């Protein structure tokens, strides 16, 4: 089975809510492939060594002209060795380019057989070479080591449908060489790829059932000035894969492209192996915040119980210590420990590094000590990276875990915007994506707290709520969960309409609408619990997501003339502004709640 990057010209990737579909069009998309029409076509057997154009001391030194001249047509009407795409930037070699033409395509003086090889150019500059090998060959690693020198790094990924995939990497002088294979039982053909190091920190493979697995290194987040100068276009280009309609590595959480999210399972048939520190540390999730088109902050979830599963205390301790050591080695400064404050929602320990390249805050939940229950389990390890010198509400300006805000209730009204078509909308509510987890309450509260500039995330809130990642927070427990927030956080919790009042809803419609409008006019989002699937929404609920059952979202606006509420779901881009008739909303509502700053 070929590597996606190799057959990119044949594959079109489309994104649906839960799955990436691969549409393969063989002959039509390759354009120009010709099969012999004669009843008894003449068979041609040729040989082509890729050694002619690959100098292992400078493996990307060949030009397009050099490659074309090295494999001339030799009297054939169509070149029997390679085919070029329309713009000539991709040259594809094959061991059987036509039904009557067979090419003995090899490497290393005929020792290694190659099925396919794709040379990709940026104008005349060779960008990458991707080769599908005919079979696993234990000699190849030794041959590569002999040419490249040094010991490679080795990474592995366990994929349910494929088994263990191993990736061997050599890197030097801005070039990376990777050898990827899955063993004979996996059905994965071994791949050899050569590319520019800045564009080779990820790879893609796909099996016969269209299960896509990929690796993605996030070490660029520790590149200091280069990160803070990175714009959205450069960021997108870094993770671009030829032949894709949508990006499988990350998603924009907003249409404004001000927040991007990486995750290990972005689709039901896609697995991304997110890594940090040279592949040594797994990452569950990462978000990048952009302001004025530039990166201003990165947040990484190294471990969280909802995604990662249970972890033993000793393993948890080893994990955050290993992360701390790597950060210290990269930044070459000593961290300052930040202990939990006396009045904290979740007992959290933090370590703060302040260096010329970046400010880094690593936090994890406290497992033992005063005020920590003896049965406390590992919940989260997270890391935040910001420009040097930044110490705001999100980067340890207050004691770790002290969830308070300097935002006053009176100041929120400035966030309310009124449009010419009658919309009244609260702006500036950040977006998160709860993913496949049932974290709708925790995710909604995270967004609300970020709006109030309270540093907290949904994994920390899930611990506070005792949320089970598989079943979420059931509707009967939602109000109790919010009440816990009021007790632990410096906010005021007020039920506007609780489940016990539902029977009165039909006779208090005006009051129901009035409560929402009063809070929106003050810049206060309304937490809204309801039953999905019972009322029309604009846009409709996504077919691949949650379409029924209890759910929490936020009402952030209204249109009085149209009789609509404007709301948002914690499901990423496309869910920032949605609408429902107020009369329908009244019929499906379980509860309405607000949490406001105490000042």
Quote the pLDDT of residue 473: 52
Question: What CATH number should be reported for the domain whose range is 448-597?
Answer: 3.90.70.30
Would you call 359 exposed, middle or buried from its count of C-beta atoms within 10 A (0-12, 13-18, 19+)?
buried
Structure tokens at 207: 């099996």
| C-beta of residue 15 within 8 angstroms of C-beta of residue 542 | no
Structure tokens at 516: 């929402």
Nearest to 130 by CA among 37, 24, 6: 6
Q: What is the pLDDT of residues 527-582, one digit of tens each?
A: 999 989 999 999 998 876 778 888 999 999 999 999 999 999 998 888 999 999 99
Quote the pLDDT of residue 231: 95
Would you call 205 exposed, middle or buried from its count of C-beta atoms within 10 A (0-12, 13-18, 19+)?
buried
Q: What is the pLDDT of residues 373-424, one digit of tens each?
A: 666 788 899 999 999 977 666 776 554 444 456 678 888 999 999 999 999 9
DSSP H helices in 122-168: 139-148
| C-beta of residue 218 within 8 angstroms of C-beta of residue 287 | no
**Chain center to CA of 280:** 18
Structure tokens at 183: 């063993």
What residues does 206 pair with on adjacent strands?
212
- Mean pLDDT in residue range 364-370: 78
Quote the pLDDT of residue 488: 64
pTM of the model: 0.70
- The domain ranges of the chain are 32-132, 135-309, 311-402, 448-597
Residue 218 has pLDDT above 60, yes or no: yes
Q: For strand 491-497 and strand 526-532, is the pairing parallel, antiparallel, or unpaired?
A: unpaired
Structure tokens at 95: 């061991």
Highest mean pLDDT among 146-150, 273-277, 305-309, 479-483: 273-277
Quote the pLDDT of residue 15: 38
Distance between CA atoms of 159 and 205, rounded to whole angstroms? 11
Quote the pLDDT of residue 17: 44
Q: What is the pLDDT of residues 50-61, one digit of tens each?
A: 999 999 989 999
Lowest mean pLDDT across 236-245, 265-274, 448-457, 562-571: 236-245
Residue 9 has pLDDT above 70, yes or no: no
| DSSP conformation letters of 427-440 | ------B-TTSS-H
Residue 25 has pLDDT above 50, yes or no: no
Lowest mean pLDDT across 42-46, 171-175, 261-265, 461-465: 461-465
Split at pLDDT 50, 70, 90, the class of 24 is very low
3-class SS shares of the chain: helix, strand, coil, % to 5: 25, 35, 40
Cα dihedral value 591, 592, 595, 598, nearest 10:
-110
Residues with Cβ within 8 Å of 279's Cβ and at least 6 positions away in sequence, in order, are 153, 155, 215, 217
Distance between CA atoms of 399 and 379, rounded to whole angstroms? 19
Q: What is the pLDDT of residues 74-95, one digit of tens each?
A: 788 899 999 998 888 899 999 9
Q: What is the mean pLDDT of the chain?
A: 81
Quote the pLDDT of residue 26: 31
């Amino acid at each position: 089975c070929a590597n996606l990057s190799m057959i990119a010209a044949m594959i079109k990737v489309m994104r649906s809510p839960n799955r990436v579909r691969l549409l393969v069009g063989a002959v039509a998309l390759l354009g120009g492939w010709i099969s012999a029409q004669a009843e008894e076509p003449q068979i041609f057997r040729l040989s082509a060594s890729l050694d002619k154009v690959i100098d292992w001391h400078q493996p990307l030194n060949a030009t397009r002209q050099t490659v074309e001249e090295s494999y001339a047509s030799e009297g054939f009407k169509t070149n029997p060795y390679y085919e070029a795409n329309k713009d000539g930037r991709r040259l594809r070699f094959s061991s059987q380019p036509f039904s009557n033409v067979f090419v003995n395509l090899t490497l290393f003086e005929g020792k290694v057989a190659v099925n396919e090889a794709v040379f990709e150019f940026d104008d005349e500059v060779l960008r990458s070479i991707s080769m599908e090998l005919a079979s696993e060959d234990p000699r190849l690693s030794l041959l590569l080591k002999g040419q490249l020198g040094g010991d490679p790094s080795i990474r592995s990924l366990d994929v349910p449908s494929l088994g263990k995939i191993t990736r061997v990497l050599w890197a030097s002088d801005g070039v990376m060489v990777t050898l990827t294979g899955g063993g004979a039982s996996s059905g994965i053909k071994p791949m050899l790829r050569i590319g520019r190091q800045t564009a080779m920190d990820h790879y893609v493979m796909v099996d016969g059932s269209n299960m896509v697995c990929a690796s993605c290194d996030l070490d660029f987040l520790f590149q200091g000035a280069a990160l803070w100068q990175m714009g959205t276009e450069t960021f997108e280009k870094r993770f671009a894969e030829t032949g894709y309609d949508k990006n499988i590595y990350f998603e924009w959480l907003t249409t404004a492209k001000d927040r991007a999210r990486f995750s290990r399972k972005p689709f039901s048939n896609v697995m991304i192996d997110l890594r940090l520190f040279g592949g040594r540390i797994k990452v569950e999730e990462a978000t990048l915040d952009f302001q004025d088109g530039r990166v201003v902050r990165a947040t990484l979830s190294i471990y969280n119980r909802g995604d990662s599963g249970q972890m033993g205390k000793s393993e948890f301790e080893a994990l955050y210590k290993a992360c701390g050591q790597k950060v210290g080695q990269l930044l070459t400064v000593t961290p300052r420990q930040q202990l939990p404050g006396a009045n904290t929602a979740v007992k959290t320990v933090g370590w703060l590094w302040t260096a010329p390249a970046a400010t880094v805050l690593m936090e994890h939940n406290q497992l033992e000590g005063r005020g920590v229950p003896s049965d406390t389990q590992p919940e989260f390890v997270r890391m935040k990276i910001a420009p040097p010198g930044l110490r705001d509400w999100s980067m340890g300006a207050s004691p770790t875990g002290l969830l308070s805000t300097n935002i006053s209730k009176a100041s929120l009204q400035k966030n309310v915007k009124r449009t010419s078509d009658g919309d009244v909308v609260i702006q500036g509510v950040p977006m998160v994506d709860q993913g496949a987890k049932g974290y709708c309450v925790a995710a909604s509260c995270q967004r609300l707290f970020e709006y109030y500039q309270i540093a907290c995330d949904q994994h920390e809130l899930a611990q506070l709520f005792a949320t089970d990642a598989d079943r979420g927070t059931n509707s009967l427990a939602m109000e109790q969960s919010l009440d816990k927030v009021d007790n632990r956080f410096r906010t005021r919790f007020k039920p506007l309409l609780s489940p016990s009042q539902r029977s009165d809803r039909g006779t208090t419609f005006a009051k129901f609408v009035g409560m929402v409008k009063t809070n929106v006019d003050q810049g206060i989002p309304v937490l809204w619990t309801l039953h999905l699937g019972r009322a029309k929404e604009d846009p409709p609920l996504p077919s691949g997501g949650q379409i029924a059952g209890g759910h929490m979202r936020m009402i952030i606006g209204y249109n009085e003339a149209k009789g609509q509420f404007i709301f948002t779901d914690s499901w990423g881009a496309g869910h920032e502004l949605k609408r429902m008739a107020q009369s329908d909303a009244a019929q499906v509502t379980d509860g309405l709640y607000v949490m406001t700053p105490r000042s």
